[in-house]
Amino acid sequence: MDPDFWRRRWQDNEIGFHQAEPTPLLQKHWPAIGAPAGGKVFVPLAGKSVDMLWFAAQGHRVLGVELSPLAVAQFFDEHALQPEIFETRYGIHHRAGDIELICGDAFALDATILADCSAVFDRAALIALPPALRERYVAELHPRLPADCRGLLITLEYPQHEKAGPPFPVVEAEVRERYGPQWSVELLERRDILATQPRFVEDGVTALDTCVYRLSRRRTAAG
């Protein structure tokens, strides 16, 4: 799955993953991770997520990264924000108030630009990636976040053979295997959501859970 796949999805408006309202599970569980007041939240594969607006409304600064120029432009246009635009080695930055959204490759971000991110929120990044890219995403990008970084991760679980992703199912064992070496992982909630997801039902999926994890980067982790 190359970057052009996601650019085409945005160009064709195939963005069923986009939500018009802030994620309810984010609003419910964000206080549990203990993110510092006013700290910066990293949002990978951000799209035009309104969760970024929610974070800003809570007093956080936001650093998002998104491949699609269309998604970035729509985010600022739809919310009547006039961003300052500039380019660095990380991509094209769009900054308005407390929200900075980089149009670029998440894997190009390094520890320098992520150094002041005290938290990370992942609702649709991990589950957007096939296994090989999920491994790279966790093994390469997350170690660049600072020690003591906190995170909230939301995943989906369903029988893999019943539907082709994305979104891909990521079971609890995989979350613990991938994050466990450098992060403490705690399952906060598992919820059956099949009845609320008609597209999955139409595709023949027989079971669908969403899971919410609290992540805490260990101070002793390398990276």
Is 30 flagged in the annotation as binding?
no
Residue 80 to residues 54, 76, 108, 147, Cα–Cα distance (Å): 15, 6, 29, 35
Residues paired with 61 in a beta bridge? 40
Is 177 flagged in the annotation as binding?
no
Residue 198 to residues 17, 193, 204, 206, Cα–Cα distance (Å): 13, 10, 10, 11
Alpha helices in 150-213 (DSSP H): 172-179, 198-202
Is 45 flagged in the annotation as binding?
yes
CA-based nearest residue to 145, from 48, 51, 73, 215: 215
The pair of structure tokens assigned to 182 is 């450098």
Q: Give me the half-sphere count of Cα atoms (radius 13 Å) on the Cβ side of residue 30.
A: 21
Is 123 flagged in the annotation as binding?
yes
Q: Tell me how far apart the alpha carbons of residues 143 and 59 are, in angstroms, rounded to a whole number.
A: 26
Q: 30 burial class (0-12, 13-18, 19+ CB within 10 angstroms)? A: buried
Q: Tell me how far apart the alpha carbons of residues 111 and 82 are, in angstroms, rounded to a whole number.
A: 28
- Which amino acids are annotated as binding site, given as ranges? 10, 45, 66, 123
Instruction: State the binding site for S-adenosyl-L-methionine.
Output: 10, 45, 66, 123
